[in-house]
Amino acid sequence: MENLEAARLQMAITLIFHIVFACIGMVMPFFMIISHYKWLKTRKKVYLTLTKAWQRGVAIFFVTGAVSGTALSFELGLLWPEFMKHAGPIIGMPFSLEGAAFFVEAIALGFYLYGWQKLPEKFHWFTGVIIGISGVMSGILVVAANGWMNSPSGFTYENGVFSNIDPIAAMLNGAWFTQALHMTLAAFVATGFAVAGIHAYQVYRGRNVELHKKAFRIAIIFASIAALLQPISGDISAKDVAERQPAKLAALEAHYETEKGAPLYIGGIVDEENQEVNYKIEIPKALSFLAFGDFDAEVKGLNDFPKDEQPPVAIVHYAFQIMVGIGTLLAIVGLVYLLSLRFKTWQHNRKFWLLFTLMAPLGYIALEAGWIVTEVGRQPWIIYQVMKTKDAVTPMPGIFYSLITYTSIYIVLTCVVSWLLARQIKVLNQNED
């Protein structure tokens, strides 16, 4: 395997895992403090049990996230030294603020985890609120740094030299807001459905139903609302990409030829050699409308870009289809939940719980697909139209071995974390029965 491919794959795998740990660590504190609030309000024991159970989940994911985040902060430099040499000072701002936010989160978590019965009740609860807020802040700041790679700003680039660096302008780049909004909502959708799904399964199996129903209700309300808002944010993102990164838009829609009134392709199998999409469903003029708000707008095709500036088409197109497909499905299922608040008999049906059990992994699949769209869709650039990924990679050969090491660690890590969570749930159910 080529060094560049190995480095890209290692980065992708590390991020794919880190995103899951980070998003759970970012969203679960919110569930935890709601349950905690209910405990303080109602003094029902079940909320205390639930809060403590979720607290253990938060701690496990915070630490796994922190450890894989430490590795990542080094990996950026280890794998992409040329990128960091030039981009480091420019996008340092969001990273240093993220460090600060993360630190605040860690301190608040220290207070929260070890503060039971030691701190005043309200202050203890409030440290939980800080965990949630600072977690979301760090997520937004990291995404702002990624936004800069898609929409570089805050510097002048001439003859390979970066000058006039303005770190604030770089942080507030054109893509930060749309990306941060989309990502934050995605984190709530994915984690909400995952947590709700796990508890729905317990209800479905009839284990410790009272607790799991309460847990389900807290998680799913976040998930449903976020899932219904996500399509709006997706539309803003699509319009943003259409304007800023036309090659990415062409790749995610697998459009090879430039045309006016471009149709939207749904599904289909991409034949990169013959530049065709077979077996697709075509909606006339829909792409032009969705991307530019005008049925006759011109959408640039991939062939309008030099061969060495085209992103891989098939993978981006498939990932995009998966993301949008699942996103739509989850919005509908979210609506089903909101309607079930009106039509209460639905919740007595076991199929209701089975439905939400099946949804558990989907949010995360969509979230990962979304990252594949934005990262692979930016290729061959690491900094859009400034630096190519192949020019940023480390000169050290043999990254393949590093790839193997990291991949094995993350696989073991994921297995162990899942196993630990399963044990937590099992013990939780045993204690209540």
Partner 1 sequence: MLTVVLFFLFFSLFLYVLLAGADFGGGIIELFSSSKNQEKTKQTIYRVMGPIWEANHIWIIILIVIMWIAFPQYFNIFVVYLHIPITLMLLGITIRGLAFIFRHYDAVKGRSQGSYNALFKLGSILSPLFLGIVFGGLVGGNINLFSENPNLTFKEIYIDGWFNIFSLLIGFFYIVLCAFIAANFLIGEAGDDEELNLYRKKASYSTVILVLTGLLILIYGYFNEIAFVIDFIENTYSLIAVGISGLVLVPLWKMIKLKRKAWARVLAGVQVLLIVSAAMLAHFPDVIITSTKEISMLDGVAPDSVITVLGVALLIGGSFILPGLYHLMKSFQLIKLFK
**Minimum CB distance to partner 1 smaller for 92 or for 268:** 92
Query: Among the candidate windows 25-33, 75-83, 360-368, 384-392, which touches partner 1 by CB under 8 A?
Result: 75-83
How far, in Å, CA of 381 to CA of 309, rounded? 8
Query: Among the candidate windows 111-119, 175-183, 267-275, 283-291, which touches partner 1 by CB under 8 A?
Result: 111-119
Please tell me whether residue 163 binds partner 1 under the rule CB under 8 A: yes
Query: For residue 428, what are the contacts with CB-CB under 8 A and spacing of at least 6?
Result: 49, 53, 208, 211
**Minimum CB distance to partner 1 smaller for 104 or for 297:** 104
Please tell me whether residue 427 binds partner 1 under the rule CB under 8 A: yes
Written as one letter, the residue type at 197 is: G
Query: Among the candidate windows 22-30, 199-207, 286-294, 402-410, which touches partner 1 by CB under 8 A?
Result: 402-410
Please tell me whether residue 153 binds partner 1 under the rule CB under 8 A: no
Looking up tokens 């340092």 gives: 92
Which residue from 6, 97, 198, 372 is in contact with partner 1, where contact means CB under 8 A? 97
Please tell me whether residue 64 binds partner 1 under the rule CB under 8 A: yes
Q: Where are the alpha helices (DSSP H) in 341-398?
A: 350-359, 362-376, 389-392
Tell me phi and psi for residue 227, to 5 degrees.
Answer: -65, -35
How far, in Å, CA of 329 to CA of 13, rounded? 26
Compute how many residues bind partner 1; rule: CB under 8 A. Answer: 68
How far, in Å, CA of 146 to CA of 183, rounded? 11
* Token pair for 51: 């809060």
How far, in Å, CA of 20 to CA of 29, rounded? 15
**Minimum CB distance to partner 1 smaller for 81 or for 325:** 81
318: alpha, beta or left, given left = phi > 0 and alpha = psi -120 to 50? alpha
How far, in Å, CA of 325 to CA of 228, rounded? 14
How far, in Å, CA of 335 to CA of 198, rounded? 19
**Minimum CB distance to partner 1 smaller for 153 or for 275:** 153
Q: Strand locations in 179-300, DSSP E? A: 259-260, 264-271, 276-283, 298-299
CB of 120 to partner 1, least distance (A): 11
* Token pair for 290: 């969705």
Q: Which residues pair with 269 in a beta bridge?
A: 278
Please tell me whether residue 67 binds partner 1 under the rule CB under 8 A: yes
Please tell me whether residue 103 binds partner 1 under the rule CB under 8 A: yes
How far, in Å, CA of 199 to CA of 223, rounded? 14
Annotate each residue in 376-395 with x if it binds partner 1 (CB under 8 A) or - if it does not, as one string.
------------------xx
Written as one letter, the residue type at 51 is: T
Please tell me whether residue 416 binds partner 1 under the rule CB under 8 A: yes
Which residue from 42, 349, 405, 418 is in contact with partner 1, where contact means CB under 8 A? 405
CB of 427 to partner 1, least distance (A): 4
Please tell me whether residue 111 binds partner 1 under the rule CB under 8 A: yes
Please tell me whether residue 293 binds partner 1 under the rule CB under 8 A: no
Interaction site with partner 1 (CB under 8 A):
56, 59-60, 62-64, 66-71, 73-74, 76-78, 81-82, 84-86, 88-90, 92-93, 95-97, 99-100, 102-104, 106-111, 113-115, 118-119, 163-168, 394-398, 402, 405, 409, 413, 416, 420, 423-424, 426-428
